[in-house]
Amino acid sequence: MLADDGVLFREGMARILADAGCTVTGQAGDGAALLAQVRADPPDVAVIDLRMPPGFTAEGIETAAAIRGCAPRVGLMLLSQYVEVHHALRLITEFDGGVGYLLKDRVSDLTAFAVDLRRVAAGDTVIDPELVARLVARRRERDPLDALTERERAVLALMAQGLSNAAVAADLHLAVKTVEAHVTSIFTKLGLVQHEREHRRVLAVLTFLRA
Amino acid sequence: MTRDGTYARAAAGAATAVLVVGGFALGRHVGNLHNGLIAASFTAVGLFVLRRSPRNPEGRLFVATGVAHAVMFAGRQYGLHPGPLPGASWVGWCGVWPLPVVLVLIGVTVMGFPDGRLPSRAWRPVVAALAVVGVVLSGVSALWPVEYARTGLIAAHPLHLPGAAAAEAFYAAARPVGYLLFQLTWAACVVVRLRTARGDEARQLRWFVYAVTVSAAVMVAGLLVWRSPIPGALTTPLIAAAAGAAILKYRLYDIDPVINRSLVFGAMAAVVTAGYAVMVTGVGRLVDGHGTLLSLVATGVVAVAFEPLRRRVQRVADRLVYGRRSTPYEALARLSAHLTAPAGGLLDGICTTVADAVGAREVTLWTGPPDSLRAVAIWPASSPLPASARPLSSLVAVPVRHDGGFRGALTVTKAPGDPLSPAEQRLVGDLAAQAGLVLQLRATAQRLVAAGDAARRRLERDLHDGAQQRLVTVAMELGAVVRSATDAGAADVAAQASSVRARLLEATAELREMARGLHPAVLTQDGLEAAIGFLADRSPVPVRLTVSIGRRLPAEAEATAYFVISEGLTNAAKHAAATVVSVSVSLTGHRLVVQVADDGCGGAEVRPGSGLEGLMDRLAIIDARLTIDSGPSGTRLRTVIPCG
C-alpha cells in the first residue's frame, strides 16, 4: 500500500513494484487517506512519503505511528528526498522494528528495494546507507572509530543499516562466524552493550555514532 | 480664605506701605536703601503669594521678613533725620536692635524656600540655636548702643546702663561669629536642598539661586566699578520677585538655559575686561607712550583667545547647570553619532541617548502597531525587557512617527516626583522623530530579509515537489528498464541503462545539496537544534557542540543563528585549517547567544561581498552585532540574537 502526494512518483512505483512481484493493494495522496485504507485492509507493508500534506513537514512519521497503533503487524517504509539522523533515531526509538527509512533514490534499484521491503515486512529495521555513511564519516576530535579495522568499519556500517549477521556476511562475502567475531570486537572496542535483536543493535550503533 | 486672614494681610500691607513711603520721605540714606527695598518687595510678594494660596507658610515668612524690614527701615530713617525729630531716640532704637533677630528670620525664610518647611526635622535644632544667638545679640543691642556706630543715627541710644564697655567688647566678638554662623547655615541648607531636589522643586530652587547670584554679581560689580552698593541694593527686589514666581510656579519656565547663558556671558565679560585691563594698564606702565598700539594688541589677543575660551567656559557651564544630563544639542549630536557608527545596538543607543538627555531612570523603546507594542530596547541594559506586547493606550509614552506613520513609542521613567518638564518632553519628541526613521528602515530591512527567506523556502519546496521528484521518478523508471533488459537478456542495454541511472542519481544528489543550501528543510521542520546537528554531522572539521535551546524560536531568529553557524563552520574548514570547532548556542531569556570558535590560523575579516558581511547585514536589522575575534590562536564569531 502506498502513500505519496506526488502522483507520477506514486504511479511509477506502483508499476515497478508489480514488476518486482509485489501486489499494490492501495494508493493514497496523504496520511489520513492511507490510514483509512490500512484500517480497511491491512497490507504487509505501507510505503509512506515522509513529507506530505497538509503541513509538508514530517507527517509520514505521524501516519506511521497511527498505523502501528491500529495495525501493529504492518511494516512501515518511509521514503524521503532527504534522510535526517534525528528522524532515523525517532523511528528506531518509537517503533520496535518493522520500520525502514530510505532516500527515494533507492527505489530505482528495484531488486534492492524489494529486499528492503520484505525485511521491513518481516519486522526488521532498514536504515539508508547514505545516512549511515554520513555518520561513520563524521569527523570527531578523538575518534573512537579510529580503533576499528577497515573490515570492522564495513561491518559497523552494515549493522547500522539494520542488516543481520547473516546478511552482513552475505554482503561482504564472509562466513557468519567471522562476522560474529567482528561484531563482538566492535562492541568491545566501542564499549557498547551487545543486543541479540538487530533492531536494538541499530539503535545502539546509531546512538553511538550520533553522540 | 478667612476674613481675619484678609484683614491681617491688609493691615500688614498698609503698615509696610506707610512705613516704607514715610521712611523714603524722611531722606535718602544709601546704607538703609536695601532695607526699604526688601521691606517693599518681600511684603508685596508675600502678600501676593498668600492671596493665591492663603495658608502658604513661605508666603507668611516673606510677609514677616518684609514687615520687620519696614519697621527697621522707618526707625532708622527717622533716627537719621537731622533735627533730631521728636522721640527719635526711641524710634531710631526700634530700627537698630532687631537686626540680629531679623537676620535669623531671613535665614528661616531662605532655608524654608520654596515650601516654607525645613528640608528635614534635623534642621530644627539648628534653627533653634540660630534663634538663641539672634535673641542674645539683639538683647545686647537693645540694652547698650553697640550697633550705633555702624548705623550713624543722630539720635542717641535711649538707655544708659552701666557695663557699656563690656557689652561693646562682647558684641564686637560675638557679632561676626554669629553672622558667619547664620550665613554658613543658610548656604549649607540651600546646597543640601539643591542636591536632593527633583523636578519642580529643583526648578524653583534654581530660579531663586539664580536671582541671588545675579544680585550678588551686580553688587560686586557696582562696588568695583562705581564704588557704590546702590546697583546691588536695587536688585534685591529681583530676589523676592523670582522667589515669588517660583513659589507660585507662575509660568515657571525652564530657567536652565538662562542660567547657562548668564554664566557664559558673565565669565566671558569678566575675562575680556580683565585681559584688556592687564594688557593696557599693566604692560602700558612698562612701555610708556604706546597706548594706541597696546590697545590694538590687547584687542587682538582678546579676539583670538575669545572663541576657544568661550567653548571651555561653555563646557564648564553645561556641567554646572545640566550635570549628568546632556544639553538638547548634545543629545541630538550624540544620537547622530550613534546612528553613523553604532556602538552596541542601534536601538540601545537611542534609549541611552534619551536617558542621558533627560536624566531618566529607565527608557524603553517599543515597536509594532499601536494595539500591540513590543519592547525592543531598554536602558539601563541590566533591566529586563518587558516580554508581553502592550497597547499604546496602556503606556505613558511619546509616540515615534515617521513619514506620517506610527512606528513605535518611547517610555521614559524618571525619579518619583520628577516629571518630564515641557522642555524635556520636547527634547524626547525630537529624539523620537530621529528614532522614527531608524525604526522605519529597520522594519523595511526586516521585511526584505523575511521575504528573501520566504522566497528561498518556496524555491526549496518547489524543487522538492518538482524537479527532484521528477528526477527520482525517472531514475525509478530507468531502474525498471534495467530490470526488463536483464530479464530479456540484453546485457549491454541493461549496463547502459544502469550507468545512465547512476549518473541521474548523482544529479539528484547534487540537486539535493543545492536545495539544502537554499534553505534547509530540517530547519523549518525540526528547528534549530536538529539543523545544528545536521551542520555538525557534515562539517569536515570535528565539531564540539554545546546546544541548549529547548523550544522553537521565531523563524528569522532560527534562520539567522543557522547561517551564523554555517558560515563559521565553512570558514573553519575552508580557510582556517582548524583541527576542532566548538559551537555553543544557548537561550537565556529572550536572547540567543551563538558562538563559533575554531583553533585555526585566524585571519577572518569582513570583506565586501563576503559571507561575513552578509551575516553582519542580516544581524544588524534585528539589532544584533557580530563580533569577530580572529588571531593566531583561532577565530571566534559571536552574536546575541534577540528573539521575543
Suggest the residue from A30, A78, A81 to mutate for an interface test with chain B (most B CBs closer than 10 A): A81
Residue B496 has pLDDT above 90, yes or no: yes
Query: Which chain A residues are Cβ-neighbours of B484 within 8 angstroms?
Result: 19
> B541 to chain A, minimum CA–CA distance in Å?
6
Report pLDDT for B280: 66
Instruction: Give the residue among B201, B212, B74 at the shortest CA–CA distance from B220.
Output: B212
Q: Which residues of B200-236 are buried (b: 16+ CB within 10 A; e: fewer)?
A: bbbbbbbbbbbbbebbeebbebbeeeeeeeebbbbbb
CA distances from A64 to A1, A178, A207, B350 (A): 12, 36, 21, 53
Q: What is the pLDDT of residues A97-153, one digit of tens each?
A: 899 999 999 998 888 999 999 999 999 999 999 888 888 887 777 778 888 888 998
Q: How many CB atoms lie within 10 A of CB A3?
A: 28
Strand partners, B641: B592
For B50-74, how does the pLDDT look when each residue is reduced to its tens digit (9 = 90+)? Answer: 888 888 888 899 999 999 999 989 9
Give contacts of A12 with chain B, Cβ < 8 Å. Answer: 473, 476-477
What mean pLDDT, rounded, does chain A reach? Answer: 87
- List chain B residues with CB under 8 Å of A88: none
Q: What is the pLDDT of residues B119-160, one digit of tens each?
A: 888 889 999 999 999 999 999 988 888 888 777 777 788 888
- At B248, the pLDDT band (50, 70, 90 cuts) reads confident
Alpha-carbon distance of B105 to B60, in angstroms, equals 11
Q: Which residue has the cell 526488521?
A: A124
Rounded CA-CA distance B525/B263 in Å is 67
- Asked if B67 contacts B42 with a C-beta cutoff of 8 angstroms, the reply is no
**B473–A84 CB contact, under 8 Å:** no
pLDDT of residue B609: 80
- The C-alpha cell of B321 is what? 547647570
H-type alpha helices, chain A: 7-19, 31-40, 59-70, 85-94, 110-121, 129-137, 150-160, 165-172, 176-190, 198-210
How far are the Cα atoms of A124, A131, B138 from residue A168, in angstroms, in the given order? Answer: 14, 17, 119
Instruction: Decide if pLDDT at B1 tops 50.
Output: no
Bridge partners of B630, per DSSP, are B635
What ranges in B228-381 are assigned the alpha helix state H? 230-234, 236-248, 256-277, 284-286, 291-322, 328-340, 346-358
At B352 the pLDDT is 83
Q: Looking at residues B527-543, what average pLDDT do you find?
A: 88
Measured distance CA(B364)–CA(B380) in Å, rounded: 9
ipTM score of complex: 0.84
Contact between B479 and A110 using a beta-carbon 8 Å cutoff? yes
Cα separation, A113 vs A92, whole angstroms: 19
Closest CA to B545 of B599, B586, B584: B584
Rounded to the nearest 10°, the torsion over CA B544, B548, B551, B553 is -70
CA distance A85 to chain B (A): 8
**Nearest chain B Cα to A108, which residue?**
B476
Whether B521 sits inside 8 A of A111 (CB atoms) is no
- Using CA atoms in the order B254, B260, B266, B272, what is the torsion angle rounded to 10 degrees? -150
Mean pLDDT of A72-82: 92
pLDDT tens, position by position, B371-380: 888 888 888 8
**Nearest-CA residue of chain A relative to B457?**
A56
pLDDT for position B323: 56
- For chain B, report the end-to-end CA distance as a whole number of angstroms: 59
Residues B356-370: pLDDT tens digits?
788 788 899 998 888
Closest CA to B137 of B148, B147, B152, B124: B147
Of A56, A135, A139, the CB nearest to B542: A139
Q: A108–B505: do the CB atoms touch at under 8 Å?
A: yes
Residues of A with Cβ-Cβ distance to B511 under 8 angstroms: none
- Which of A76, A86, A19 is closest to B525 using CA atoms? A86
Q: How far apart are the first and last CA of chain A?
A: 35
Res. B19: pLDDT tops 60: yes
Cα A135 to chain centroid, rounded: 15
B475, A108: Cβ pair inside 8 Å? yes
Residues B14-29 have a mean pLDDT of 86
Give the confidence band of A38 by pLDDT, cuts at 50, 70, 90.
very high
Backbone angles phi, psi at B365, to 5 degrees: -110, 130
Nearest to B522 among A19, A56, A84 (CB): A84
pLDDT exceeds 80 at position A210: no
Q: What percent of chain B has pLDDT over 90?
A: 12
Residues B170 and B133: beta-carbon distance below 8 Å: no
Among B470, B476, B580, select the one facing A107 at the smallest CB separation: B476
Subunit contact B472:A104, Cβ cutoff 8 A: yes
| Distance of residue A61 Cα from the nearest chain B Cα, in angstroms | 13
List, for residues B398-455, the tens digit of each pLDDT value: 888 888 888 888 988 877 666 777 778 888 888 888 888 888 888 888 888 889 888 9
- DSSP state at residue B121: G
Q: Which residue has the cell 554658613?
A: B184
Whole-angstrom distance, CA of residue B165 vs CA of residue A180: 128
Which residues in chain A touch residue B494, judged by CB atoms under 8 angstroms apart?
A: none
Residue type, B129: A
Angle between helices B99-112 and B57-80 (to 10 degrees): 150
Lowest mean pLDDT: which of B241-255, B472-486, B530-544?
A: B241-255
| Torsions phi, psi for B407 (to 5 deg) | -115, -20
**How far apart (Å, rounded) are the C-alpha atoms in residues B416 and B219?**
38
Whether residue A59 has pLDDT greater than 60? yes
Q: Is the pTM of this model over 0.80?
A: no
- Sign of the four-CA dihedral A71, A77, A82, A87: positive
As a whole number, the mean pLDDT across chain B is: 83
Q: Which three cell numbers stand for residue A101?
A: 527509512
For residues B508 and B472, is the Cβ–Cβ distance under 8 A?
yes
Q: What's the burial of B487, exposed, middle or buried (CB within 10 Å: 0-12/13-18/19+)?
A: exposed
Please state, in angstroms and rounded to a whole number, the distance separating the CA atoms of residues B139 and B94: 12
* Residue A149, φ and ψ in degrees, nearest 5: -80, 165
Q: Which residue do the cell numbers 476674613 mark?
A: B3
Contacts of B539 in chain A (CB under 8 A): 139
Chains A & B: contacts with CB separation below 8 Å: 99
Q: Which residues of B touch A110 (CB under 8 A)?
A: 476, 479-480, 482-483
CA distance B237 to B243: 10
Exposure pattern of A125-160 as b/e (b: 16+ CB <10 Å)? bbbbbbbbebbbebbeeeeebeebeeebebbbbbbb
B323 and B282 Cβ atoms separated by less than 8 Å: no
Range in B89-103, B144-158, B306-320, B589-603 the model is least confident about: B306-320
Mean pLDDT of A71-77: 92
Q: Which amino acid is at B71?
A: V
Interchain CB distance below 8 Å, B476 and A135: no
By CB atoms closer than 10 A (0-12, 13-18, 19+), residue B165 is exposed
User: Residue B342 above 80 pLDDT?
Assistant: no
Q: Among B480, B508, B516, select the one facing A105 at the smallest CB separation.
A: B508
Predicted pLDDT at B520? 83
pLDDT tops 50 at residue A199: yes
Q: Are A134 and B537 in contact (CB under 8 A)?
A: yes
Q: What is the pLDDT of residue B395?
A: 79
Helical H runs in B254-290? 256-277, 284-286
Quick check: B539 and A13 CB within 8 A?
Answer: no
The segment with the largest mean pLDDT, out of B143-152, B333-342, B574-583, is: B574-583
Substitution target from A83, A91, A105 for chain B, most B beta carbons within 10 A: A105
Q: Which of B442, B447, B439, B440 is nearest to B351 (CA)?
A: B439
